[in-house]
A and B are shown apart, each in its own frame.
Chain A
Amino acid sequence: MGMGRVVAAYGNMVTVAFEGSVRQNEVAYILAADGSRLKSEVIRVRGDRCNVQVFEDTRDIRVGDQVEFTGDLLVVELGPGLLTQIYDGLQNPLPKLSQATGLFLKRGVYIDPLDREARWDFTPTAKVGAWVEAGDILGWVPEGKFQHQIFVPFNFIGRAEIVKMAEKGFYTVTDTVAEVKGEDGKLHQLTMMQVWPIKIPLKLYQERLLPDQPLVTGCRVIDSFFPVAKGGTACIPGPFGSGKTVLQQQISRYAEVDIIIVAACGERAGEVVETLREFPHLEDPYTGGTLMDRTIIICNTSSMPVAAREASIYTAITLGEYYRQMGLHVLILADSTSRWAQALREMSGRLEEIPGEEAFPAYLQSRIAEFYERAGFVKLKGGGNGSVSVIGTVSPAGGNFEEPVTQGTLAVVGAFLGLTWARSNARRFPAIDPLISWSKYPEQMKESLAKVDPHWVEIIRAAQKFIHQGSEIKKRMDVVGEEGTSIGDFLIYLKAEFLDSVYLQQNAFDAVDAYNTMERQAYTFRMVEKILKKDIAAKDKDDARDIFFRLTALFKNWNASAWQSDEFKRFESQINDFLRG
């Protein structure tokens, strides 16, 4: 183990003079005067000095303090027991920290991420005598409703022969479940737990496939108009108060995936609290268990140390990649990537690097790309598919989408769901602006979307045109007034408004309307489409307005009625009456 001494310190950056060698990004511990060991990471090496970023409060660090280099990169522990956990950015379980340190966090206290006492019901599947390599499956344990696969460690080098397999039975994550003999004749004891460096993508799959299956979020404007694919990426930029958080919470509740990982990165603690207090009591719409059963929360809120904030989104995506390896579909919700970018900026400033736009480092764009590129739909070695999808929010300064983080993100994601004040001030929620948002996935997913409706992509595109047309007419009308608008144009405008208010807008606080299956979305949309296509016989503009007032109210009630309930059918027949009339 390498040793060193502190020679300079400023903020959370410490310069260390070391003996021997160090690795870039290896973990080091600073031994502070009060006896605490402060975790840090090497981020730059120059001659016999290196800069480390400290993941903790650096108060009372002194020149001459001893530094221990571990030789290991920053890793997360992988194994059964990750689900339902609430971790900080460095994978410390927060509820256990609170038992250890009380109400407040205390620096230098680290707790095992995986419970060492818990016993898991292990069923071996690999046989003695078989040859295995990194990523091969040894057996499984039940974790909630999932079969949690136990792998030969992903960092295992070369091939090895299994010489001993544990019997079916209960084991802790540190018990040996298999003994293997490498090609060099060395014996290795394998357990159910392993570690993986968070900044290195886990790529032990056979091949990456084009994401071509929709990830249903239950939010109509996303799923129908700007869909996200399983294994795809999307970003949600929006100024404060535009409803980013409510939208994220909606998605985390209703998204049709196996596992949700919420990375609360530098945002309000209060928001995470809602998730972590409510999820254990909310029912998972797909399995009947609680939402917590399929959730991992990585919680590094705004007042927690900044360097750990930088690590937190990598921690989240590494856990996602691990579950993808088991053939599961994982969704990472990163809120907010701007705070993560700001953490990069702070460190870059302390390193005195030449700044780019708004003082963000020049490598911001490539770091953002690296992160989003870890998402993907993959074919696994043992057959079957898994995916990691990423939906990241961006908090652009002043709501201006021209800023570097938004632009850097737009360059690499597959869908852009832009929230605007114009829509949120008009109380049109979710405030995803249909005039600026886009998704690249409909083309890619054409085949799977055809199952929803053979012409789905075309009819959606036609509806989008309608929205644009309506907005053009509205702009003209603002200048020339209603009097100067033809009844034909006026009807198009009303139809676009109607589409907006009954389909694009959705009430997140209504038990029924909050979530729509794809089946229901298609069903509703076909009805909306009929209205859009229908010739409306209106005497004058007031009459036209009245007709659409009534239609809108009718559809809203329809949206709020449970799928195929009596009420639902009653409203549907009223709509049909209108269409016939």
Chain B
Amino acid sequence: MREIITKIDEITGNIATLKATGVGLGELALLQSPGRETLGQVISLNGENVTVQVFGGTKGISTNDKVRFLGHPMMVKYGNALLGRIFNGSGVPIDGGPEPVEEEIPIGGPSFNPANRVIPKQMIRTNIPMIDVFNSLVVSQKLPIFSIPGEPYNQLLARVGMQAEADIIVLGGMGLKFDDYTFFKRTFEESGVMNRVIMFIHLASDPVVECLLVPDMALAVAERFAESGKRVLVLLTDMTNFSDSLKEISISMEQIPSNRGYPGDLYSQLAARYEKAVDIEGSGDITILAVTTMPGDDVTHPIPDNTGYITEGQFYLRHGVIDPFGSLSRLKQNVVSKATRRDHNDVMNTMIRLYSDCRESRNKIAMGFKVSKWDETLLAYGQDFERELMDLNVNMPIEVALDRCWAILARHFEPVQTGLKDELVKEFWPAQ
């Protein structure tokens, strides 16, 4: 048993400093106040002064509280008993169930050796046409959903969770409103997928430091499942809260902020999490879908900006739909018309090109210019496109969605107007 320290020298923000020896960086500490226990992590050492980041916050902590160092870093439980369970940011069950009896694994482990990576070639079906057809989600991809607060991003995330082809879904909630938490829980329960879901939930009212642990715990668990051959989908919401927590901690550590108050290592911090997405050759894989709400709908804000440099594309959620222009899946070329039907690539490009023409026609109308016959065709096409494919409630497998694309095209255009290759038209153009 390690010695118990009963004197805390300094308490600021979520950080406490005390004197101790033989303590390692990253080691866990247990702080015991009368009637309350919380964990903390060593973040800096200076001589015998040890600085501890207190997960549960320092509210009410007394200078004579008991502190004990545990001799190991932050751990998380891992095993099949976690399936269907809900934990908080410290890894404690909050669903009323018992503490699962499982192996404990460290969080924030080392990076995957790049030499062991493979080029991903499989698609993850979500049955959402705007994803499957136009910006396919590829195994081991890391994609953010850029959105302004108020858009139905959590609904979208939940739907992907329910419908995606994955063995295990790990949901990491950061700064989640209670309503959203309940929504996720109920949605997963009602759709019958809860038995393959693991949730790590940090609620908006929970201490801010716990928020930082959520992605690490979610990803550590995901990594182990992937190693054991499982296809894991990690859903994170909202990474902006995570970044704001980083900002809060770094400022209370008196670090010099770099851009709008965010720490200089924001990029590295985000990358360390997103880069956990991986396709392990001959085994499982991890795919990450993460919500990033853009403060003020500003994509140049440090959080979406740094995220964009890390992730492999992005989905833009705007006015309740996935915007086909701003959205991009960098890996879709690996699967489109390779893992999917051969008409996929051409249909995708043609549909988008025509829809973009339709937008131009709309601008023309807005500016008061004369409308031609061709403009009218485009407008009617655009309307059908939005109603039958873009609407977030549309739910169909990619083959059906591709057929629907052909049907919409045939409804409004002659084959030659679409510029599609003759051989594809011959095979796929619906007979009148």
- Whole-angstrom distance between the Cβ of B212 and the nearest chain A Cβ: 15
User: In whole angstroms, what is the CA distance A95 to B117 when docked?
Assistant: 11
- B248 contacts the other chain (Cβ, under 8 Å)? no
Cα distance A358–B258 in the bound complex, in angstroms: 5
Contact status A303-B24, CB under 8 Å: no
Q: B117's contact among A60, A64, A241, A273, by CB below 8 Å, is which?
A: A273
> Do A103 and B309 touch (CB < 8 A)?
no
Q: Least Cβ distance of B51 to chain A in Å?
A: 8
Q: Flag the segment in A7-15, A176-184, A288-296, A445-453 that touches B.
A: A7-15
Contacts of B110 in A (CB 8 A): 57, 104-107
Complexed CA–CA distance, A345 and B265 (Å)? 8
**Which of B39-47, B88-96, B187-195 sits within the interface?**
B39-47
Enumerate A333-375 residues with CB–CB distance to B below 8 Å: 339, 342, 345-346, 349, 355, 358-360
A62 within 8 A of B: yes
For residue A304, CB closer than 8 A to chain B, the reply is: yes
CB proximity to B under 8 Å, residues A256-309: 266-270, 272-274, 276-278, 299, 301-304, 306
The distance in angstroms between the C-alpha atoms of A81 and B342, with both chains bound, is 43
Across-interface contacts of A102 in B (CB, < 8 A): 113
Do B275 and A101 have beta carbons less than 8 Å apart? Answer: no
Let me know if A84 is at the binding interface, CB within 8 A: no
Decide if B25 touches A8 in the complex (CB within 8 Å): no
Measured between beta carbons, the chain A residues less than 8 angstroms from B328 are 241
- Pick from A201-209, A395-403, A491-499, A519-527 the stretch touching chain B: A395-403
The reply to whether A9 and B267 form a contact with Cβ atoms under 8 Å apart is no
Contact of A60 with B310 in the complex, beta carbons under 8 Å: no
> Once the chains bind, are B48 and A63 in contact (CB under 8 Å)?
yes
Q: Does B198 make an interface contact (CB < 8 A)?
A: no
Are A98 and B115 in contact (CB-based, < 8 A)? Answer: yes
B432 CB–A CB distance under 8 Å: no
**What's the Cα separation between A268 and B110 when bound, in Å?**
16
B400 in the interface (beta carbon within 8 A)? no
**How would residues 102 to 132 of chain B score, 1 for a CB under 8 Å from any chain A CB and 0 otherwise?**
0000000111111111111000000000000
Q: Residues of A contacting B117 with CB < 8 Å?
A: 269-270, 273
CA A410 to CA B47, docked complex, whole Å: 43
Whether A339 pairs with B267 at a CB distance below 8 angstroms is yes
A9 to B46, CA, bound (A): 6
CB A309 to nearest CB in B, in angstroms, measures 8
Interface residues on B, range: 35 or more
- List, in ascending order, chain B residues with CB within 8 A of A359's CB: 256-259, 264
Partner of B275 from A278, A302, A345 at Cβ < 8 Å: A302
CA distance A254 to B111 in the complex (A): 31
For residue A61, which residue of chain B has the nearest CB?
B25
Min distance, Cβ A348 to any Cβ of chain B, angstroms: 8
Inter-chain contacts of B313 with A (CB < 8 A): 241
CA distance A98 to B116 in the complex (A): 7
Least Cβ distance of A512 to chain B in Å? 19
Cβ contact of B113, chosen from A60, A94, A266, A342, cutoff 8 A: A94
Q: A200 interface residue, CB < 8 Å from B? A: no
Interface presence of A59 (CB below 8 A): yes
A183-B327 Cα distance, complex, nearest whole Å: 69
Distance of A11 Cα from B263 Cα, bound (Å): 13
Name the contact of A62 in the complex, choosing from B45, B120, B264, B331 (C-beta under 8 A). B45
CB < 8 Å neighbour of B255 from A101, A268, A299, A349: A349
CB of A33 within 8 A of chain B?
Answer: yes
Q: Are A269 and B259 in contact (CB under 8 A)?
A: no
Cβ A272 vs Cβ B114 within 8 A = yes
CB of A525 to closest CB in B, whole Å:
29
- Supposing A10-B45, A269-B275, A302-B275 touch, asked if A346 and B109 sit within 8 A by C-beta, the answer is no
A413 at the interface (CB under 8 A from B): no
Q: Say yes or no: is A58 at the interface (Cβ < 8 Å to chain B).
A: yes
Task: Let me know if A395 and B309 touch, CB within 8 A.
Answer: yes
| B353 to chain A: closest residue by CB | A427
- Residue B227 at the chain A interface, CB threshold 8 Å: yes
Give the complex CA separation of A267 and B311 in angstroms.
10
Pairwise interchain contact A268-B310, C-beta atoms closer than 8 A: yes
Pick from B21, B25, B271, B331: contact of A60, CB below 8 A: B25
Contact of B308 among A9, A59, A86, A241 (CB under 8 A): A241
Cβ–Cβ contact A33 & B24, under 8 A: yes
Q: Return the chain A residue nearest B265 by Cβ.
A: A346
* Set of chain B residues within 8 Å of A33, measured between Cβ atoms: 24
Beta-carbon nearest neighbor of A301 in chain B: B114
B47's partner among A63, A272, A345 (CB-CB below 8 A) is A63
Asked if B24 contacts A59 (CB within 8 A), the reply is: yes
Contact A302 B25, CB 8 Å, known A240-B305, A349-B256, A355-B256: no
Residues in chain B near residue A301, CB distance under 8 A: 111, 114, 275
> Contact flags (1/0) for B376-411 with A, using CB distance below 8 Å?
000000000000000000000000000000000000
With A and B bound together, what is the CA distance between A101 and B109 in angstroms?
A: 14
B312 at the binding interface (Cβ < 8 Å): yes
Q: Give Cα distance in the complex from A105 to B325, angstroms.
A: 38
Residues of A in contact (CB 8 Å), total 63
| A270 contacts across to B, CB distance below 8 A | 117, 120, 140, 312, 331
Alpha-carbon distance A106/B111, docked complex (angstroms): 8
Q: Which residues of chain B are within 8 angstroms of A303 by Cβ–Cβ distance?
A: 111-112, 268, 271-272, 275-276
Contacts of B45 in A (CB 8 A): 6, 8-10, 61-63
Beta-carbon contact of A62 and B312 below 8 Å? no
Q: Is A97 an interface residue (CB 8 A)?
A: yes
- B118 A277 Cβ-Cβ under 8 A: yes
- Among residues of B, the one whose C-beta sits closest to the C-beta of A304 is B111
Q: Which of A86, A101, A269, A345 is in CB contact (< 8 Å) with B264?
A: A345
Chain A residue contacts of B302, Cβ below 8 A:
397-398
B35 within 8 A of A: no
Contact B43 A240 (CB under 8 A): no
The answer, among B48, B113, B309, for a CB contact under 8 Å with A240, is B309
The digit string for B123-155, where 1 denotes a CB below 8 A from any CB of A, is: 000000000000000001000000000000000
The distance from the CB of B56 to the nearest CB of chain A, in whole angstroms, is 22
Contacts of B310 in A (CB 8 A): 268, 302
Closest to B45 in A: A9
Which chain B residue has the least Cβ–Cβ distance from A399? B300
Instruction: Give which listed residue, B25, B114, B271, contacts A9 with CB less than 8 A.
Output: B25
A103 contacts B113, C-beta separation under 8 Å: yes
Q: Known A58-B25, A240-B308, A342-B268; judge A277-B111 contact (CB<8 A).
A: no
Contact flags B243-261 to A (C-beta < 8 A → 1, else 0):
0000000000001111100
Q: Shortest Cβ distance from B352 into chain A, in angstroms?
A: 10
In the assembly, what is the distance between CA of A213 and CA of B423, in Å?
48
Give the CA-CA distance A59 to B140 in the complex, in Å. Answer: 27
Separation of A339 and B299 alpha carbons in the complex (Å): 20
Residues of B with C-beta under 8 A to A339: 267
Question: Contact: A346 with B268, CB < 8 Å?
Answer: yes
Residues of B within 8 A of A299 (CB): 114-115
**Beta-carbon nearest neighbor of A97 in chain B:** B113
In contact, B300 and A62 (Cβ under 8 angstroms): no
The answer to whether the Cβ of B23 comes within 8 Å of any Cβ in the partner chain is yes
Question: Is B165 an interface residue, CB under 8 A from the partner?
Answer: no
**26 pairs, A vs B, C-beta closer than 8 Å:** A7-B47, A8-B47, A59-B73, A60-B26, A60-B73, A62-B24, A86-B114, A95-B115, A97-B113, A101-B113, A103-B113, A240-B309, A266-B268, A267-B309, A268-B275, A272-B114, A299-B114, A301-B111, A302-B310, A303-B111, A303-B112, A303-B268, A306-B265, A349-B255, A359-B258, A398-B300
Given A303-B268, A303-B271, output 4 extra A-B contacts at Cβ < 8 Å: A8-B44, A59-B24, A103-B112, A359-B257
A-to-B contact residues, CB < 8 Å: 6-11, 15, 33, 57-64, 86, 94-95, 97-98, 101-107, 239-241, 266-270, 272-274, 276-278, 299, 301-304, 306, 339, 342, 345-346, 349, 355, 358-360, 395, 397-400, 425
7 closest Cβ contacts across the A-B interface?
A398-B300, A302-B271, A303-B275, A60-B24, A94-B115, A240-B308, A359-B258
Interface residues in chain B, defined as those with a beta carbon under 8 Å from any beta carbon in chain A: 21-27, 43-48, 73, 109-120, 140, 227, 255-259, 263-265, 267-268, 271-272, 275-276, 280, 299-302, 305-306, 308-310, 312-313, 325, 328, 331
